[in-house]
Structures are given as C-alpha cells and as structure tokens.
Amino acid sequence: MTISDISHRKRYLPEGNVYLPHIAVIEKIIYETPNVKTFHFNFKDEKLKEEFTFESGQFGEYSVLGIGEATFCISSSPTRRDNLECTVARVGKVTNALHRLGEGAEIGFRGPFGNSFPLDYMAGKNLVLVAGGIGLAPLRSLIWNALDNRAQYGSIDIIYGARTPGDLCFKYDLESWEKDSSVNMTTTVDREAPDWQGNVGFVPAITEKVAPSAKNAVAIVCGPPIMIRFTFPVLEKLGFTPAQMITTLEKRMKCGIGKCGRCNIGDIYVCRDGPVFSYEQIRNFSSDEY
Amino acid sequence: MLEKWQKEFAVFVPSKASGVSQMEVWDGQDTAFLDRNRNTAVPPKAKFLPGMEKMFGFRKEEGSYVVEPTDGEPPKQLLFGIHPCDARAIGIIDMVFKDAYDDKYYLSRRENTVLVGMACTSPYDSCFCTSLGFGPADATDVDIMLIDIGDALLIEEVTEKGRGILAGAKGVIEATEKDEKEAAAARESANAKVSRKIDTAEISRRLPLVFNDREFWEEVSAKCVSCGICTFLCPTCYCFDINDEMLQDGSGARYRNWDCCSFAIYTRMPAENPREEKWRRVRQKVYHKYLFYPELFNVIACTGCGRCIRQCPVNWDITQTLSKLPAGSPGKAEEKQKAS
Amino acid sequence: MNNSEPKIVAFCCNWCSYAGADLAGTSRMQYPSNLRIIRVMCSGRVNPVFVLKALRVGADGVLVLGCHPGDCHYLTGNYHTRRRLSITMKFMEYMGIEPERIQVSWCSASEGSRFAEVVTEVTADLKRISPNRLFND
Amino acid sequence: MTREIEKKLRDTVRELLEKETIDRIVGYEAGSLKFSTTPLITSNKADVDRLVINPFTHSNLSVFLRDLCGKVGIVAKGCDARSTISLIQDRQIARKDVFIIGAPCDGVIDLAKVEKLIGLDRDEIDDIVWQGEKAAITFAGSTQKFSAKEVLADSCLGCDPSDFKECDMLIGEIEPIVGGKELGQDRIREMEAMAPAQRWEFWKKEFSRCIRCYGCRQVCPACFCDRCFVEETEPRWISPLPKWQDNLIFQVVRMMHVAGRCTNCGECERICPANIPLGSLTKKMEEIVDELFQYRAGTDKDAPPLMAAYQPDELEDLMR
C-alpha cells in the first residue's frame, strides 16, 4: 500500500460555504523562538468545538479578519482535543498581524483541508522523523499522535535540527521526547554555539551519522526545501526506497480547496491532493517546481 | 423578446457603452449587437466570476467578531448574444468550481443565469475555435442558440432552461426546412472563416516531452512582459486571489479578485518562489491550459477565442508557441521516465 | 465655506518642523486643533503615495512640513521633497483635486509662531472648500 | 522605401552580429495579426531577415533591456531611444552594453483610432499605407484617405524629434514628424477646460473600468522597480482589489514615479484593455516636468535623473 492508495477516509468535512471562516479564540500563546509563536485556540461555537476533528498533516486557513488569510498546518495532535494549535513564523502581512494578537483575541479558521499522514501505512512500522526549523510543526502532530498510540508503531527516531539553539521550536516537547525511553531523539544545530552541548551539523549530515535502519521503516521529512532536497539522497543511501519516504510540501495558497490555482505542481494541487506526498510521487511529478 | 425577458431577468447584452466592449445591462433600445456581432473584449465569465466579488462581511459586536455571509440568491440574469467559444468556456470552468468542494459564489450565479447563445458570423483573424472541437456557430453549453439566417433568427432549444424562457413567446414560428438549410449554410460559412489552426492531438503528444526544455521556454517567453491581460481576458482563466478590506470601525469584508499566473508574486512565498523566472510562468500558463487541465477534467482549457492574441501588448501568440513545440526531442522528462 | 472641522494630516520632519510644532505647543501658542501630525525623519521620506493614502482614508488635506531649504539635517532631503511634491501638487490639480488639499511648507525648530501661522492658514483654506468626498463611492 | 530601409537594417544588424559588436538584437518582426509587429529578440544571424520597420512598430523595446545580458543592439524609434537613455541615467543598464540603432519613424499608426474612424475592427481592414501626408486605408472594397492627425497615435502627435539625441547608428534619415508638438496637447487643453470636479468625475469613471492587469506597468520601460509599491503588504498602500479609488491612486502614483523617465511613448495607453486614456496623463506629466524643470526625459545620458537632482532656489512659489 502506498499513500496514493489511501483514499480520503471518513473525516470531518467543512459543510456549507467553505469560504466562510469559523471564529476561534486564542487561548494561549507560546513563544517558541524570537520569530515563531504557537497559538492554542478553540472554536467559539460549542457544537463545532465538539464535532471538529482532523488528522495529523492536515492544514487550515487562518485569518486575521481585515488583514487576510494564511495557511499553516495544525501542529497539535488529533489525540489531544483540548484545543487546536498552530505554529507560525513571522514572515509577512498575516503572520505579522497574528503575532501582534494577544491571548483572548479572535481569529478565523477554515478547514481542515488536504490529506494527512498515512497512519494505516505507517502502522506496525518503525518511524524515522526528520525535521528542520519550523518544519517540526506538522511532524509534532504526528509524533504526539504516535506516542499516544505507542503500541501501534515500532521504534521512533526523531532527528531535529535548527540554525541555532535559539531557533529550536517546541523545546518543551523536545525535553519530554528526550526523556521518553521509547523515542530515540537527536537534536542538532547548524553551527557551534555557546552553551550548546549537542550535535553540530546540518540535518542531512546528522541523519547520515545517526543512520536509522530502513528495514520496515517509514521516513517522514519536513523542513526548508533545501533540507528536504538534501535529506532524500541520504535516506536513499541508507536503503530507504522512494515509497518509504514521506514529506509535506508548502506552497502559496489562498483558497485551500484546489480552485484559486496557485499551488499546483503539474496537475497536482498541493492543497487538494497534498500536502503529504511520498518521495515516489514527487519524483514522478512532471514538474521540478516543488 | 428581450423586453419580455427583461421582466424576469437582468438582461445583459454585448455593449461598448462603458468604453470597453463587455456584457452590460440592456438599455431596452440599443440593438446594434444584433447587426454587428463581434465578440466582446471582456469575456462573459465576469458575470459569474466578477473581477471583484464580496465573499462575506464581518463586524465586531461586543468585542467579538460576527461573520455576515453575503445573503440571498444572486439576481436572475440572462446573458444574450454569448458566442459559442465563451459559452464553452463557461462549461469548462464549471468543472473546477464543482470539483471536490462546491464554490457557492460561482455556482449560485451560474444557476441563476440563462445563456442565450448567438452564432458568430464574423470571427476575428485571431480566432481558432474550430481547432478545439467546435465551430463559431455551434450550440455549446448554452440554453438556447440563435443563428442569423438573413431575415430572421433561427432558434435552437438546447436545455430545459432554454425551453422555459421560450414558452409563451410571441413571434416565434416553427422553422422551415429552408430555414434549417440556411442555418446549416451559415454555420458552414462561419466555420470556413476561422483560418487559424492548431493540431491539438499533436500538441498533447508533444507537451509531455518538452516540459524540461528550458531553452525552448526561455526563447518563447523572451518577449512576454508578464502582464495580466491575457489571463484576465481569457474566458477560461479562473484563478483568483483573496483579500480583506477593513474600515476604521473594525468592520470589513473579504473579497476575491482575479489573479494571474503571469505575475511573479502569484506563487511567491517567504522562502522561495517556484515560478520566479518568467519562462516558468509562461510554461505554466501553456501547460495548465493544454496539459494539466485535460489531465484533470479531460478537456483543453482553451476555446480558441483569440483574446489573448488580439489583446497582447507584444502579440505573444499561443498558437505559434504551440505549433513550435519541439517534436518529440527526448527531453529530460522522457529520460526521467525511463530512469524510474 | 463650510462649518465642519477639516481633518489635516501633517507630515513633519523630525529635526525642524516637528520641533517647531513642539515649540508652538510649549509656548502655548494658539492654533487650530485640526492637525494629526505624523513625524518622519525627513520630509524627503514623504512619498506621493503617503499623501494620496491620507486623502483616500478621509483626510481633508495634507500638509508636508520640512526644514527651510538649505537647512536640511540630511543636507538635501527637502530639495527632493520640493521637486517631488511640486509634481504631485501640479498633477493632482490636473486630476481634479483642489490645490488646497496638498500643501508644502517649511518651518524651523525655532519658528513656533510660523508653525501656528501655517496651520491656521491651511485650516482656513480647507474650511473654504468642501470636505473631502473625493474617494467616496 | 520601407523595403529599402528594412534591407539596410537587416544588413547592418547582420554585420553587427558577425563582427560581434553586439551579442543579440532586439527588434521588430511581423506579428501574427494584420498590422501587427512583435518583438524579435535573437542572437541568431539567420533570424535577422525577419526584422521589419513599418508604421506598426508600436512596442517600446527598451523594456527588455534590463533582462538581457551581453551587449544588446536595439532597434529604436525616437521615444524608445530616449527610454533607453533614461535607463542609462538611472543606472539600470550601462551605456557600453547597449547599441542603439536609430530607426526612422514617422509616427506609429494608432489602430484604435483607425477602428473608431471607419467603424470596423483591424482585421477587417485590407490595407493601410502612407500616401504623402495622408494615410490611405482600404476597407470594404474602397480606399479612403485620412490626415496624419486622424490616424497617428496621440503620443506621436506631440513628439519632438529634436529630443532624439543619442544613438550609435542611424538607419535612414530622421524625418520631421507629421503634425507638431502642439497637436498632442489638444486633449490636455480640453481636459483643463473642464471644472476640477468634472475632471475628477471623468477620471473616476475611466478608472472604474481598470481591471488591474498591470499591463501599463509591465510594458513601461520606466517602471523598472523589482517590487512595485502596489505589491507592498507592510504597510499595504493600496488595495489589490480593482476599486476605482485604488486603481486611480495606483496610476497616479505610477505617473509620479515615472516623472522625468517617461518619454510619452504611448505604450501604456495603447495596450490598456480597458481603454483608459493614460496618454492624457503621461502627456500632462511631460508638460509639468518641462514647465517646472525645462527637462525632457532621456535626452542627456550624463544628466542625473530628474528626481535625484535639485536647484537650491527653485519652485519656492509653489510652497506655502
């Protein structure tokens, strides 16, 4: 079974006019790095709060009303339903506006959209999760999901890197995964830094060093495009087949539902057909524009 | 007849009153469009997917946001004198807006619209509809179709909706065999007037082979100036952008407006832009219409209306590009396929 | 003549005219309260789009104030302001905007009274013409 | 006449390419529609025979210069040559990297004007040729003659050939333009005769048709910013939505940004799919610049750009 075999399973589908955002309240803001915040939010509508479900890997369209809409994955796990979380780097108009909001402020949410990580396919396998920078956000949802259903998976290897120690996101999670004896956690930063005792080196190089076994394993890679491009060959060297490698792609999106046109790679619309793809799929895209 | 329809619908006809030829509300008098029936500069898609459309409003009530959907059904409208190419185009973009998730805005306008087609008797020299599987006088995706047969208009009923608007109309008489013959002749002569041709079968064969032929795409895109004219005026281009507007009191609205793959900013992300270079954007435009869209919906997203050729500031001619596609040179795509 | 109080957006340079406004204030000079001051480091920072945006969102007039020619803290900033805004004023007049709506003047840090005077005059000018409805639908 | 000049142009360009004086040429070739030309950008000597010169060479080819590498030869009408010089003044291209081939120009024929004149579209016209000072237009089986003023682009009517000061080579003679400088001012005077409020209403109506295709910006050689102010989001100066207010501000600010660079080549007006009379704005801006600064865009490659220069004692009468 490959990802493409997994059809859109039964899941929460937005009803009615999919362009209308649901109002949600920011309950808590966590400062991840100077540029990244995680927002914990919940729908105002009690019924929706109850009914809303999603799967790891799906994304939403978040609006700051009057400013605009932006696309981020849901970085919390569907197994933890207290609230939804998204992790946002400050890069443009909407993200700047989001960062200016305080706890208690209201945002708009549309979603969930897109496909998700193929949990059925991963079940019973060893998971190798490779992430860089804010690319840990979608994987974090998957990691907690896997940890909450720990028995369903084999070993779990996490390789996570950032530019500097200060750029590491989810430090509180990293700590708890490090303590977790069922997780093999490796953290790295790009360059030597004062007070940094851990690994130094780029993620692909560290992956090569850690050398997770490809046997009965799935590798999930997420991070800046350059990191992804260099990590795939390393994994291939370690024996991973293209079908065993999974990533999630990022594109400029507006509608989230395959209509507005900009997120295509060939005839694939990342918002509708993705964002989760196997390397095998990507390799066969007619376009190199991923 | 138009007057009758006016009671029930907002009737739009081709008009130049605003300074540019487009579909405008009929003033009840002008019938110039019957005599001189050339296609409008702005395609009728603007009546389903307006250049700017309000999606919803919002306001703050006791410190909390309230989303106010744009309420009610859009007004019933009747578009008179739609050319077959533009009607076909509407049929083509219907597919996107129905796909996976319904696009309520587009579809509700679409449902409330009657399309009265008018056979095109004087195609432009830039038209090439006959290469795309229909002629300038064929009834494609319209509700009723009119063909000028000299002293009268021959009416073809095409859909249930079309039959509905004809019911009880005065002055409509059964067409004679002679009329039918004249209509057929008119159709033939219209077909003959379309001189520009492309070979869609050959194009579909070649396109997958030349995707990575960067040299070719750089060459054909060199003179493109990356404006939005061809896409904004294209009857099958449907891409849009979503933008918010806010008033001082904290209320506001979300709109969508046309967007265009020729703009570098269209796909620009903070870290990188997959189509920063002009040749990639030109390639995307050609491929979307002639390869990606057919792969998804089994139809070429081009109806040969020729607007992009007529209106292009530098006469960038898609038919020339398509006919220049290198023939089966084993590009990287093929190698790549072989390799995998 | 109209009775409404015009809203004026004033772009004041940090070194002269903003200090001039300050002086007018601390010296308790009387001048109309129609002004919304936006401090810029130099009047040369004022792009024509600032002026138009102010009018677009409802200002009745825009006043750009800089150092006297030759006194610019950055030596030549206000010379460029002068060229740029002369063109803006002339061109907007052609478009059909009343010339009173866009004005440029100079005021040094020690000219509190001049500041008050200019503001009084500009306010009077704008009271003479109708409120800004240019950008209403 | 034209044929002869075309031959001379082709021979010249071929020689320039052969001698490697230039690496590539930007010129015009016949377009795919009647009375159209299209840019020909090539380094291939075999393509040279496609070069043409005729009254339909509308495009201002200098818009391509910034993107081309190597030494580029450009077939330039007067206004295009001036735009090229203007780009050199603004340090967008280096003088040594461009070889200006001055082409004789009697003004380009404005097909939109012709269409209005005879009530037919361009593809229904059989022929347009100059016969002395008149344009002979053949359509619907007969030929009618029209004066230059009736058929030439408005921007050409106001063209002053003496502004064309710099080129590396001239193909043929510069002939005095048909018409005259003052002819191009007619519509500005008409506009100024209106009351201000009426003018504003006029522009409001015109700009309500704008669809924001940014064609005007993209064909303009003076609009060379890598990032246009309309694309700025922090802050967002104007809305990206095609509201007339924002359309108007976009165009007005664009005009101000190209003041002293715009050579009134008329391209923005010609290509506007909404038929907005932008030429009236470019012409007025040219006039303002001329009146206030006695400056003509693109006439002196060594002069500083208009907005980068100043006189200590100027314009004081306009200040409060």
Maximum distance among all Cα pairs of chain A, rounded to whole angstroms? 54
Spell out which residues of chain C touch residue D314, defining contact as CB-CB under 8 Å: 82-83
Taking only the tens place, the pLDDT of each residue in B124-164 is 999 999 999 888 888 888 999 888 887 788 888 788 888 88
DSSP conformational letter for D36: -
Share of chain B above pLDDT 90, in %: 50
Q: Is residue A262 part of a domain?
A: no
Q: Do D215 and B313 touch (CB under 8 A)?
A: yes
pLDDT, mean over chain B: 88
| The pLDDT of residue A288 is above 80 | no
**CATH number 3.40.50 given to D111-151:** no
β-pair type (A126-132, A156-162):
parallel
pLDDT at D139 over 60: yes
| Residue range D181-237, pLDDT digits in tens | 677 788 899 999 999 999 999 999 999 999 999 999 999 999 999 999 999 888 899
pLDDT-based confidence at residue B33 (cuts at 50, 70, 90): confident
How far CA C18 is from CA of A92, C66, C109, in Å, comes to: 32, 9, 7
Query: Which residues share a beta bridge with D99?
Result: D73
Q: What is the domain partition of chain D in residue ranges?
A: 2-110+152-318, 111-151
Q: Do A145 and A70 fall into the same domain? A: no
A108 in the same domain as A71: yes
Report the pLDDT value the prediction gives residue D234, as an integer from 0 to 100.
87
**Which phi and psi (to 5°) does residue A171 adopt?**
-60, -35
Q: Does B195 touch chain D (CB under 8 A)?
A: no
Among A62, A72, A74, smallest CA distance to A12 is for A74
Per-residue pLDDT at A2 exceeds 50: no
Q: A5 falls in which pLDDT band (50, 70, 90)?
A: very low
Structural tokens at position A170: 């989810």
**% of chain B with per-residue pLDDT over 70:** 96
> For the segment B236-280, what is each residue's pLDDT rounded down to a tens digit?
999 999 999 988 888 999 999 999 999 999 998 887 888 999 999
* Total domains in the fold of chain C: 1
Residue A130 has pLDDT above 50, yes or no: yes
Our CA-based measurement puts residue A71 at a distance from the nearest CA of chain B, in whole angstroms, of 11
Give yes or no for residue B331 having a pLDDT over 60.
no
- Chain D residues whose CB is inside 8 A of the A96 CB are 234
- Tell me whether residues B259 and A272 touch, CB distance under 8 A: no
Cα distance from B160 to chain D (closest Cα, Å)?
35
Alpha helices (H) in A31-170, listed in sequence order: 46-51, 93-100, 119-122, 136-148
Domain-embedded: residue A290:
no
Strand order in the sheet with D24-30: D37-42, D24-30, D72-76, D98-102, D169-170
The contacts of residue A55 (CB under 8 Å, 6+ apart) are: A11, A78, A112, A116, A117, A119
Query: Nearest Cβ partner of D219 from B41, B225, B311?
Result: B225
| Residue B163: predicted pLDDT | 85
Cβ of A44 within 8 Å of Cβ of B64? The answer is yes
| Alpha-carbon gap, residue D279 to D206, rounded angstroms | 13
Quick check: C96 and D203 CB within 8 A?
A: yes
Q: Does the pLDDT value for residue D256 go beyond 70? A: yes
Chain D residue with CA closest to C48: the answer is: D253
Quote the pLDDT of residue D100.
95
Which residues lie below 8 Å from residue A193, measured CB to CB, with a gap of 6+? A164, A165
Q: Answer yes or no: do C121 and D320 touch at CB < 8 A.
A: yes
- Strand order of the β-sheet with D142-147 is D125-131, D134-139, D142-147
- D with A: 3 or more CB pairs under 8 Å? yes
- Model confidence at D315: pLDDT above 60: yes
Please say if the pLDDT value at position B335 is more than 80. Answer: no
Inside any domain, residue A14: yes
Tell me how many residue pairs between chain B and chain D have CB atoms under 8 A apart.
Answer: 109
Chains that touch A (3 or more CB pairs under 8 A): B, D
Report the domain count for chain A: 2
Domain-located, residue A152: yes
Question: Which of C63, C89, C95 comes nearest D200 by C-beta?
Answer: C95
Of B42, B124, B278, the CB nearest to D123: B124
φ, ψ for residue B12, nearest 5 deg? -110, 140
Query: CB-side exposure of D221: number of CA atoms within 13 Å?
Result: 33
pLDDT over threshold 70, residue A289: no
Which range is least confidently modeled, A74-78, B41-45, B97-101, B306-310? B97-101
- Does A286 have pLDDT greater than 80? no
User: Considering only residues 6 to 45 of chain A, which have any Cβ-Cβ distance to chain B shorter than 8 Å?
Assistant: 14, 16-21, 23, 44
Do A159 and A206 meet the contact criterion of CB atoms below 8 Å apart? yes
* Minimal CA separation from D66 to chain B, in Å: 12
Eight-class DSSP state of A266: T
Contact of A222 with A246, CB cutoff 8 Å:
no
C136 within some domain? no
Q: Say if A264 falls within a structural domain.
A: no
Is residue A99 within 8 A of residue A26, CB to CB? The reply is no
Q: For D308-316, what is the mean pLDDT?
A: 92
**Residue C51 within a domain:** yes
> Is A104 near chain B, with CB under 8 Å?
no
What is the band of A49 on the pLDDT scale with cuts at 50, 70, 90?
confident
Tokens of A206: 């560290």
pLDDT over threshold 90, residue B37: no
Kindly report the CATH number assigned to the domain that includes residue C33. Answer: 3.40.50
Helix (H) or strand (E) holding A71: strand A68-73
Question: Domain with A209 in it: what CATH number?
Answer: 3.40.50.80
**A touches C, CB cut-off 8 Å, minimum 3 pairs:** no
Q: How far is it, in rounded angstroms, from Cα C45 to Cα A114?
A: 45
Q: Identify the CA nearest to B33 among candidates B45, B43, B24, B44.
A: B24
Residue A87: strand pairing partners: A38
CA distances from A216 to A212, A238, A239, B35 (A): 11, 13, 11, 74
Is D24's Cβ below 8 Å from some Cβ in B?
no
pLDDT tens digits in sequence order for chain C, 137 residues long? 556 899 999 999 999 999 999 999 999 999 999 999 999 999 999 999 999 999 999 999 999 999 999 999 999 999 999 999 999 999 999 999 999 999 999 999 999 999 999 999 999 999 999 899 999 88
Q: Are strands A264-265 and A268-269 parallel, antiparallel or unpaired?
A: antiparallel
- pLDDT beyond 50 at A273: yes
**pLDDT surpasses 70 at B340:** no
**Which of the other chains make 3 or more beta carbon contacts under 8 angstroms with chain B?**
A, D
Show which of residues 130-149 on chain B sit within 8 Å of chain D, judged by CB atoms.
none
Chain B residue numbers touching A257 (CB-CB < 8 A): 100-101
Instruction: For residues A15 and B8, give the distance between their C-alpha atoms in angstroms, rounded to a whole number.
Output: 32
The CATH number that applies at residue A54 is: 2.40.30.10
Residues of B in contact with D231 (CB under 8 A): 265
User: What's the token pair of residue D50?
Assistant: 């496609």
D178 confidence band (pLDDT: 50, 70, 90): low
Question: Which structural domain range is residue A85 located in?
Answer: 8-113
What residues of chain A lie within 8 A of the CB of D234, using their CB? 92-93, 96
pLDDT score, position D197: 93
Same domain, residue pair A238 and A165: yes
CB contacts of D230 in chain C (<8 Å) are none
Comparing CB atoms, the residue among A66, A257, A286 nearest residue B208 is: A286
CA distance B311 to B17: 19
pLDDT value for A88: 95
- pLDDT confidence tier of residue D106, bands split at 50, 70 and 90: confident
pLDDT over 60 at D273, yes or no: yes
The helix/strand/coil state of C32 is coil
* pLDDT of D180 above 80: no
pLDDT at D176: 59
pLDDT > 70 fraction of chain D, expressed in percent and rounded? 97
Nearest CA in chain C to D255: C91
> SS3 sequence, chain B?
CHHHHHHHCEEEEEECCCCCCEEEECCCCCCHHHHCCCCCCCCHHHHCCCCEEEEEEEEEECCEEEEEECCCCCCCEEEEEECHHHHHHHHHHHHHHHCCCCCHHHHHHHHCEEEEEECCCCCCCCCCHHHHCCCCCCCCCCCEEEEECCCCEEEEECCHHHHHHHCCCCCCCCCCHHHHHHHHHHHHHHHHHCCCCCCHHHHHHHHHHCCCCHHHHHHHHCCCCCCCHHHHCCCCCCCEEEEEEECCCCCEEEEEEECCCCCHHHHCCCCCCCCCCHHHHHHHHHHHHHHHHHHHHCCCCCCCCCHHHHHCCCCCCHHHHHHCCCCCCCCHHHHHHHHC
Domain that holds residue C119: 8-128
CA D136 to CA D130: how far, in whole Å? Answer: 6
Residue A269 is encoded by which pair of tokens?
């619309």
Angle, in degrees to the nearest 10, between helices C48-56 and D244-257: 160
Q: Is A51 exposed, middle or buried (0-12, 13-18, 19+ CB in 10 A)?
A: exposed
* Boundaries of every domain in chain B: 2-193, 200-339
Q: Does residue A115 carry a pLDDT above 70?
A: yes
- Check D275 against B20: CB less than 8 A apart: yes
Angle C77-95/D278-293 helices, nearest 10 degrees? 140
ipTM associated with this complex: 0.90
